[in-house]
Amino acid sequence: MPTDVRCLVETDESSAVVRVSGVLEPSGTAAVRDALLARLCDRPGPVVADLTGLRVADPELRAVFAEVQREIEDWPAAALLVCDPAAGTADRPDPALAGVAVLPTLDAAMAALAESPMAAVLTAELAPVLGAARQARELVSDGCERWGVTALAEAGGIAVTEMVNNVVAHARTPMTVRLAPVGDTLHLAVRDHSTRLPAFAGLAPVNSPGGRGLLLIDTVARRWGSSPVPDGKVVWCVLDPTDQPPL
């Protein structure tokens, strides 16, 4: 899909590779970001950004790939690998790509991808209907049981219920629920197709009929947030067992 008149982003639907070629100029960085986030939304697991055929007008523009990595840091089962022969060496890394896994060739990137452990992840596609939250809770309960993080089942159920109910009540679009363990923590995300981001204003007035959903997420989660993506958003949270009350 074209992003800028001199930059092209191509997604390989049969693999995890997104190719960015041509010349990247400031006007093209937003479209590159959007294309990568869209791919990371659509498939769990790492995505390889192949920059072999890319020239960059200003070396600092490579920071767009570090921005994407920071955006997805707490998404479940999401990571960005960058193949960039021009990104420097291990001894002299490119500061614009700080925090990003950078490989010098596509072969090296694909080898790193193949050697990485298979991500433990569960995903469900849900309609914005009554009963969606129940299905999401069942997914969380199943995941916590599989991955040995049962102490997070209750908090995960609370968080995913509020995320899903917000989609049902406000976004009213189909949604993708995804969860994955990272060590002892649980990462949850709900992706919908509304561009309206959640706004958390703290404690709701006692006479307010709503507004407590985000407060509940804020109470049980170590951290949470939302990421604008093409055609919608991702609302995510990280649950840590040390934040949960003893059973």
150: helix, coil or strand? helix
What's the token pair of residue 85?
A: 């022969």
In whole angstroms, what is the distance from residue 19 CA to residue 32 CA? 10
In whole angstroms, what is the distance from residue 212 CA to residue 53 CA? 49
User: In this structure, are 82 and 182 located in the same domain?
Assistant: no
Residue where a domain stops, chosen among 84, 115, 146: 115
**Residue 222 belongs to domain with CATH number:** 3.30.565.10
User: In this structure, are 72 and 174 located in the same domain?
Assistant: no
In whole angstroms, what is the distance from residue 232 CA to residue 180 CA? 21
User: In this structure, are 171 and 72 located in the same domain?
Assistant: no
pTM more than 0.75: yes
What domain range is 80 assigned to?
A: 2-115
User: In this structure, are 106 and 138 located in the same domain?
Assistant: no
User: In this structure, are 70 and 127 located in the same domain?
Assistant: no
Q: CA nearest 62: which of 44, 79, 39, 87?
A: 87
2: helix, coil or strand? strand
User: In this structure, are 90 and 23 located in the same domain?
Assistant: yes
Residues of the chain with pLDDT > 70, as a percent, come to: 89
Residue where a domain stops, chosen among 94, 115, 136: 115
In whole angstroms, what is the distance from residue 19 CA to residue 26 CA? 18
Q: CA nearest 182: which of 129, 120, 134?
A: 120
Q: How do residues 105-154 score in pLDDT, each as one tens digit?
A: 999 999 998 887 777 999 999 999 999 999 999 999 999 999 999 999 99
Q: How do residues 62-94 score in pLDDT, each as one tens digit?
A: 999 999 999 999 999 999 999 998 875 555 678
